[in-house]
Amino acid sequence: MAGIGFALRRLARRDDLLGVLQGYAHSAFITSGPWMFTILALAGITLFGRDLVGVEELTLFRVVVIYNFCFSVVFTGPLVLVATRYLADAIYAKEVEAAPGMLLATLGLAYAIAALTAGPFYPLFSGLPMPVMLGGLVNFFLVCGIWVVSIFLSALKDYLAVTVAFGVGMATGMAGAVLLGDRFGAAGMVWGFSAGLAAIQFGLIARVLAEYPYPVGRMFAFLGYFRKYADLALIGLFANAAVWTDKWIMWFAPERELVSGAMAIYSAYDGAMFIAYLTTLPALTLFTVNIETRFFEHYQGFYRDIQKHATYDQIARNHSAIIAALLDSSRNLIILQGAVCAVCIFLAPAIVGVLGLQYQQIGMFRFGVLGAFFQVLFLFCTVILAYFDLRARNLTAQLVYLVTNGGFTLLFSGMGFPWYGYGYFLASLLAFAVAYLMVADAVRRLPYFAFVANNPSVR
């Protein structure tokens, strides 16, 4: 991920204001990742669609998009992480000829996953009218495809093209949803939105194929990585499930709406949580542009100097430098995000009012903001764990988050809506504490981990 950060920081360091703005705008977009992407898409369409179609039609559309985004990201999670690892290794070994073949293979697998999951679900359990159902199905395939093509984003240095693809795609999607929704209701919105997603997916595929003009070959070479990195596949599954598990459980709360067939949502909760998560944008940006890159430089220096035959005292100095950089950065980060968080909690009634939400959502929103604060810190901890390739620890952290988020949400969902969101907050806090202790411990003992505990050459 640091690759993106470096290019963005170059942009942000340009001496004019436009450069700075550009840099942070890109980073806000790229760092937010799938999660933020979902929220922005939903927010946009809800905003425009509210007056065009009836509430019922809009809800139908929303449930399709939410289901598609959350289940696709969970089901493709293992594939995405394992394929990312393979691609990163191939780039490191300067063997990128495999990229086009791998792109087609991962796309094929993503579609296979879609066919096996959404394929039976939509016709059998969704109970949606035929045009909406078919649109939802196509939409699911497209979203799965986007997650997979996104793997190749970090390999592409052309962030502008990426941003353009997403920008044009989302604009097309919104316009399509609004225009078609006006004439065909929910089915029109789903198909129109899908047109935008198709633009993103095929635009990115074209970009990747243009960047790697090699013949297609060794398509399934990366499948061997599933055995080698089974823990990584599980991390991909658990991490995405953990983020969504509180929403899933709240879909069974008494206040939920059964939209169609087996498809239920609880829009008050979902909406509060989505908006709460938007408060992490400043922290995400700061982390990607500044902290991760700074950490990465020290991280690289540490390992490079070892390979260049540094003395132990030099290694110890580099070790201290990593710790100092991390402490320094996390202080800045916590101050920034803490301030954002505090402001949002104090101004919660006002924010809820401005956004036209219901007053019963204020409590959920406040817990959501607090939870998002710790969730984003948790995310940073797992990024550091990923850098040190401490997969067992990362897996443990994700599992803790999944279990606590599920468990606590279940526990508090029975206690009435004043408690809604409390489970998510508590789980985020606890998962962050666990991840933080694991990162702190690993960083403190870094030389031991580098030479012995996490060294594949030491048997």
Partner 1 sequence: MSRSLPEAPRAPKADVCLLMEGSYPYVAGGVSTWTHDLIRSHADLTFHIVALVADRSARKLAYDLPPNVTGLTHVHLQDPPAGWRWQPGTGRLLRDLERPLARLQQGGGLAEVAEVLRLLAPRRGRIGKRALLNSEDAFRMVVRMCRAALPDASFLEYFWGSRALMSGLFATLLVPMPQAAVYHAISTGYAGLFAARARLETGRPALLTEHGIYTNERRIEILMAEWLFEGADTSLALDKKKRDLRDLWLDTFASYSKACYDACDRIITLYGGNQEFQRRQGADPAKLMIVPNGIDYAGYSQVQRDSTPRPPTIALIGRVVPIKDVKTYIRAAAILREDIPDLKAMILGPLEEDPGYVEECRTIVKHLGLEQTVIFAGRVRLTDWLGKVDAIALTSVSEAQPLVILEAGASGVPTVATDVGSCSELLMGRPDEVPPLGPGGAVTPLASPLDTARELRALLLDRPWRERCAQAIARRVAQSYDKVAIDRIYRAIYDEHIAMPTRPTHDQQDFQLSGAA
- Residues of the shown chain interacting with partner 1 in the complex, contacts defined by CB under 8 A: 306-307, 309-313, 315, 445, 447-448, 451-453, 458-459
DSSP 89: H
**In the complex, minimum distance from the CB of residue 273 to partner 1, in angstroms, rounded to a whole number:** 41
Gap between the Cα atoms of 32 and 122, Å rounded: 29
Hey, how many other C-beta atoms are within 10 angstroms of the C-beta on 19?
14
Comparing CA positions, the residue from 387, 433, 159 lying closest to residue 287 is: 387
The Cβ-side half-sphere exposure at 315, using a 13 Å CA radius, reads: 15
Nearer to partner 1, 315 or 427 (CB): 315
Q: Which is nearer to partner 1, 381 or 446 (CB)?
A: 446
Using CA atoms, how far apart are residues 233 and 227, in angstroms rounded to an integer? 9
Tally of CB atoms within 10 A around 290 = 18
Length of the chain: 459
Q: Which is nearer to partner 1, 257 or 305 (CB)?
A: 305
Of the candidates 171, 139, 147, the one whose C-alpha atom is nearest the C-alpha of residue 60 is 139
CA 218 – CA 78 distance, rounded (Å): 20
CB of 450: closest distance to partner 1 in angstroms? Answer: 10
Q: How far is residue 173's CA from residue 396's CA, in Å, rounded to a whole number? A: 38
Q: Which residue has the tokens 């505090």?
A: 342
Rounded least distance, CB 234 to partner 1, Å: 23
- Which lies closer to partner 1 via its Cβ, residue 220 or residue 303? 303
The H or E element spanning position 258 is: strand 257-260
Helix axes 17-49, 267-278, angle to 10 degrees: 170
Cα–Cα–Cα angle for 403, 401, 235, rounded to 5 degrees: 100
Nearer to partner 1, 7 or 446 (CB): 446
Q: How far is the CB of 291 from partner 1 (least distance, A)?
A: 28
Q: Which of 168/321 has CB closer to partner 1?
A: 321
* Identity of the residue, 128 or 315, whose beta carbon is nearer to partner 1 in the bound complex: 315
- Given the complex with partner 1, which of 56 and 441 has the nearer CB atom? 441
The rounded distance, in Å, linking the Cα atoms of 102 and 52 is 42
> Taking the complex as a whole, how short is the minimal distance between the CB of residue 302 and partner 1, in angstroms?
12
Least Å distance between CB 445 and partner 1? Answer: 7
Q: How far is the CB of 128 from partner 1 (least distance, A)?
A: 55
Q: Which residues contact 342 (CB under 8 A, 6 or more apart)?
A: none
Q: What region does 389 belong to: left with phi over 0, alpha with psi -120 to 50, or beta?
A: left
Nearer to partner 1, 16 or 311 (CB): 311
Q: Quick one: tokens of 307? A: 């390979």
Write down the least CB distance from residue 309 to partner 1, Å: 3
